[in-house]
Structure 1
Amino acid sequence: MLDPLIIVIALACGMASRAAGLPALIGYLAAGFLLHELDIGGGGILATLSEIGITLLLFTIGLKLNPRDLLRTHIWGTTVAHMAAMQLFFLGVFYLADALIPGLTIDFTAGLVGAFALTFSSTVFVIQVMQERGEMASRHARLAIGILIIQDLAAVIFLGFSAGKVPGPEALLLLLLLPLRGLILRLLTLSGHGELFTLFGLTLALGGAGLFEATGIKGDLGALIIGAVLAGHQKAKELSRNLLQFKDLFLVCFFLSIGLEGWPQREMILLAAVLGVLALVKPPLYFLLMTRLHTPPRTALLASLPLTNYSEFGLIVVAIAASAGWMDAQWSAAISLAIAISFIIASPLNRMAHVLYRRWHRQLQGFETEVVRAAYPDTRDVRVIVLGMGNIGTGAYEAMAERFGEAVLGVDDNDRKLAQHQRARRRVVAADASDPDFWQRIDLDGVELIMLALTNHEENKLVGKLLGDLGYQGRIAAVVRFSEEAEELESAGISAFNLYAQAGSGFAAHAAAQLGQ
């Protein structure tokens, strides 16, 4: 049975970490070390729950796979080149550490696996940063997450080989999963949206892992494959959201188990401190690779800075390698300390991301390629701008286009939506609404109205503040969902339209029209 004190200590440490502006992950790692000092063990149930967390992590990664996005050169090219360079860099670091730190011995296999583990960046950290800034839908967020997914795939391949198993001939039967995709998705649809739907998802992840294990293939790899088979469907996206909390909760047990193994030797603690600081080497190389592969400098900077850290997936790689006897178990504790230090360094750096871009704007623009300059959108003679061309934004665009014609400009950062609007002959450009470079290419003196149809309150606030900083004197209107959001925007001089409050009157008007009144 899991000791309730473990839950209380994990919660307290996680809350303290979040209050300090750091990811809760650091608190969970600290809780594990504290529990070790208190001589409180987790028993077999903690190990079981941590294994479930890893399985769900891989399953949800599979659900989000989109080969079309991942095959873009600036995503896979940046990832592969960066991982190769970091592998060589950290191998060099371990070679020097072995020579300079008395009492430290790092054999080649341990160094190779340790360097590989340090090439990853944290998905948890990146998502937290983007959510807090209201930038999850931005181009730089999609770029960073695409890089993380490819890194995770590299880790999964490693996990698959680490099992050392030879699949039996019955593994060929797993190919039947492909034609069964339609049936599984139909069953997911029939299961609704509640607890039955979530239970079905857990069954697919855990049952699928067991199925692959029975054929001689590592179960974690099987969970990812099953997730990938379902990827691209709307139900797969919904399932990923439903399982998110379960995955995060079970992964807490994994982080606790790392600390429960105890502190590494003094030499390894020193090495961990050095490695934590060396995370600062990552973002300059990311930025250089991204810009060389025709990523705009601002997008490259804002995608690079959240990657200034090491990954919880690196911990999983080290734990698996330690269990296989390839490296000492204390490497897990050392890497966990390096991760914590990298998070502490990266947190204030990311809070200053937009400030850093504005401060070094001129110098960073020197990395812009001709391909990027040639793709600048046409923003001449604009009087009305609609930001966010979803259903609400499209309706607003059509209404304004009847009055202002070609002087209405739609803006969206989604390439799929952009293609749809261009086929419908709407004047829509691809741009990030929070990008000051985009706004500086527009004659804001001629713009009478800017409509924020982003439905993300944090992003609405960010764009409103940016326009104020640029001296925009026209009118701004925004869509909101809650009254407190409306009050906050109104106080900033932005006219707020409460989507839910106005929906009733709109529905009544529509119904009255059906009665001919």
Structure 2
Amino acid sequence: MVEAVWIVFAFMTGLVVKMVGLPPLVGYLLAGFAIGAIGSRIGLPAESSDMLAHLAHLGVLLLLFTVGLKLKLRNLVRPEVIGGGLLHFLISCLLFMPGIWLLLDVDWYSSLMLAIALSFSSTVLAAKVLEGKRELRAFHGRVAIGILIVQDLIALLVMSIASGQSPSAWAFVIFGIPLLRPVLYRLLDASGHDELLVLLGLLLALVVGGQGFEFVGLSSELGALAFGALLANHKRAGELSQSLWSIKEIFLVGFFLQIGIGGLPDAQAWMFALAMIVLLPLKGMLFFFLLIIFKLRARSAFLSSLSLTNYSEFGLIVASVVLPQWLIPLALTVALSFVVSAPLNRLAHPLYEKMSRRLLPMERECFHPDEQPVSLGDAQILIVGMGRTGTAAYDFLKPRDIPMIGLDSDPVKVSKHVTDGRNVVFADAEDQLLWKNMEAPGLRYVILAANDVEAKVIAARKLRKYGFQGVIVSHSMHTDHAAAITEAGANHTYETMSEAGVGLAGHVFALEQEKS
């Protein structure tokens, strides 16, 4: 059974790399190359890769659909997104093309196509890493995803021109897609919370978005992303994304396996890939300086750039259309860039803390779109993270007329809270300069309600480091996370599920007391 081999290899290598502190996806890449190396010896049929390619494609579509669910299009129409994406593409092509032409002795057309393929960054890897750290909606996450979408649109245009194919006349129908929003909202409302909700997500991502766009001669990836973005403003978009989580993760394992399973690289492919990995830091540095030019703070520019410091699966798609003979070297290059990029992104915030002294002087002396607050005014209570938990805490405390303020790294969420009458400002709890420069003379209590445990650990540690003597309270989903937050400086860390159980029992006891 072919699927059994994939599952065994993926699980074993994923477990091994996780035990040494690397993300499991690195193990899935290694599993793909291992299967490619010994597949014929263990009797894998040749058509197994076609099945895997199909599963991988479904995983990519679901990932892009869930990314779309978390996007607000008005955040993409920003100078740093459009300008950064286009300028990086042009400069990368100008830098890569002459070197490839001279060193590899290929014609100018192949040099140009290779340069274009190498200029893109991985939407799959960046989205997965940012989603895993719950940073898709943070400012730097939005910038990174926005640039990736710009790159993906460029890739689709390049493939259309290079292949000589053009969209059908029906492609203009996609401009009427926004008219479907009321219908889709009604379907989402009517789908409930069980399997119908999952089926609706699969229908929109794979059938209507994916297959529908292919039918009119457009990219299925673009279709999945578009239909996700169409639902992004719905109140149940987050629930829909969560319902698709497990299915998407399983299919994405197939994507990472597929990269290595197509064939074994020869010595020339290894030399090409290693040379491109040596040049990989230049790609990240170019992103960093471009974002600095567009007035981002050093921290946001660094975190966005690190997410984009890799090579793209879209490069493989471009190669499959115009340069099939370069597919294996490019696949190896993409795989090695994932091996380098994934662990670096996992350590992104500690890396910035170590490098901040060198990076901060590079900031421009002007307004930054991600400017942090420097004063909390007369606030006595600070709530870090204004999701469901933070909002509930804010609304519970508001009638007591205690000066209070909330912080959140999602600009759209901040804007909504302000519209609803809450005192909330944009800030990223993982930014060390936030806590170092903040003026809060009346602050007595801090409630850590952010989703990411790393954000709560950093916030607690920095608050204590810079002299806060008040009470820090946090919630946590897991015992080990609670221990880490408490060790960082929190006075009390409550496990969410346990407290929910205690609360329910308390209500029962109160009802019994009323009866007696």
Q: TM-score range by the shorter chain?
A: 0.7 to 0.9
Classify the secondary structure of the residue corresponding to 2:51: helix
User: Is 2:275 the counterpart of 1:274?
Assistant: yes
Counterpart amino acid of residue 340 in structure 1: A
Give the equivalent residue in structure 1 for 2:309: 308
Q: What is the deviation of 1:130?
A: 4.2
Q: What is the deviation of 1:137?
A: 4.9
1:503–1:160 distance in 2 versus 1, CA, 3 Å: farther
Q: What is the deviation of 1:176?
A: 5.7
Q: 2:333 aligns with which of 334, 338, 351?
A: 338
Provide the rounded CA distance (Å) in 2 between the counterparts of 1:148 and 1:186: 30
Provide the rounded CA distance (Å) in 1 between the counterparts of 2:60 and 2:389: 39
Judge conservation of contact 2:288–2:305 (CA < 8 Å) in 1.
Answer: yes
Provide the rounded CA distance (Å) in 2 between the counterparts of 1:9 and 1:202: 27
Judge conservation of contact 2:84–2:291 (CA < 8 Å) in 1.
Answer: yes
Q: What is the deviation of 1:94?
A: 0.9
Provide the rounded CA distance (Å) in 2 between the counterparts of 1:404 and 1:416: 26
Provide the rounded CA distance (Å) in 2 between the counterparts of 1:391 and 1:28: 34
Q: What is the deviation of 1:411?
A: 2.1
Further displaced range: 501-510 or 249-258 = 501-510
Give the equivalent residue in structure 1 for 2:472: 476
Cα deviations by residue, 1:282-310 (Å, 9 ceiling, x for unpaired):
22222222222121222222222232222
Cα deviations by residue, 1:68-107 (Å, 9 ceiling, x for unpaired):
0111222222222222222222213312322xxxxxx433
User: Is 2:82 the counterpart of 1:85?
Assistant: no
Q: What is the deviation of 1:161?
A: 4.8
Counterpart amino acid of residue 91 in structure 1: M
Provide the rounded CA distance (Å) in 2 between the counterparts of 1:123 and 1:220: 11
Provide the rounded CA distance (Å) in 1 between the counterparts of 2:70 and 2:176: 21
Judge conservation of contact 1:22–1:343 (CA < 8 Å) in 2.
Answer: no
Judge conservation of contact 1:279–1:308 (CA < 8 Å) in 2.
Answer: yes
Judge conservation of contact 1:53–1:249 (CA < 8 Å) in 2.
Answer: yes
Identity of paired residues, percent? 35
Counterpart amino acid of residue 414 in structure 2: L
Provide the rounded CA distance (Å) in 1 between the counterparts of 2:319 and 2:190: 40
Classify the secondary structure of the residue corresponding to 1:118: helix
Q: What is the deviation of 1:270?
A: 0.5
1:65–1:356 distance in 2 versus 1, CA, 3 Å: closer
Counterpart amino acid of residue 376 in structure 2: T
1:186–1:309 distance in 2 versus 1, CA, 3 Å: same
Classify the secondary structure of the residue corresponding to 1:472: coil
Further displaced range: 290-299 or 336-345 = 336-345
Q: 1:453 aligns with which of 449, 453, 459?
A: 449
Q: What is the deviation of 1:24?
A: 3.6
Give the equivalent residue in structure 2 for 1:464: 460
User: Is 2:359 the counterpart of 1:364?
Assistant: yes
Q: 1:441 aligns with which of 432, 437, 440?
A: 437
Judge conservation of contact 2:130–2:141 (CA < 8 Å) in 1.
Answer: yes
1:375–1:318 distance in 2 versus 1, CA, 3 Å: same
How many positions carry a matched residue from both structures? 503
Cα deviations by residue, 1:8-42 (Å, 9 ceiling, x for unpaired):
22333333343343444443333333333321345
1:442–1:505 distance in 2 versus 1, CA, 3 Å: farther
Q: What is the deviation of 1:204?
A: 3.1
Provide the rounded CA distance (Å) in 2 between the counterparts of 1:236 and 1:424: 20
Further displaced range: 501-510 or 6-15 = 501-510
Judge conservation of contact 2:378–2:440 (CA < 8 Å) in 1.
Answer: no
Give the equivalent residue in structure 1 for 2:194: 194
Cα deviations by residue, 1:398-445 (Å, 9 ceiling, x for unpaired):
666666754x33322232343344456654332112222122223467
Judge conservation of contact 1:185–1:235 (CA < 8 Å) in 2.
Answer: no
Judge conservation of contact 1:448–1:475 (CA < 8 Å) in 2.
Answer: yes
Summarize the alignment of residues 52-201 of structure 1 with structure 2, pairs less than 5 Å apart: 52-98=58-104, 105-127=105-127, 129-130=129-130, 135=135, 137-161=137-161, 164-171=164-171, 177-201=177-201
Provide the rounded CA distance (Å) in 2 between the counterparts of 1:54 and 1:135: 19
Classify the secondary structure of the residue corresponding to 2:281: helix
Provide the rounded CA distance (Å) in 2 between the counterparts of 1:96 and 1:436: 45
Give the equivalent residue in structure 2 for 1:414: 410
Q: What is the deviation of 1:510?
A: 9.0
Q: 1:494 aligns with which of 491, 494, 511?
A: 491
Provide the rounded CA distance (Å) in 2 between the counterparts of 1:159 and 1:245: 31
Q: Normalising by the residue count of structure 1, what TM-score does the alignment of the two structures yield?
A: 0.83
Counterpart amino acid of residue 274 in structure 1: A
Cα deviations by residue, 1:345-368 (Å, 9 ceiling, x for unpaired):
335544554444334434423214
Further displaced range: 67-76 or 383-392 = 383-392
Give the equivalent residue in structure 2 for 1:429: 425
Give the equivalent residue in structure 2 for 1:9: 9
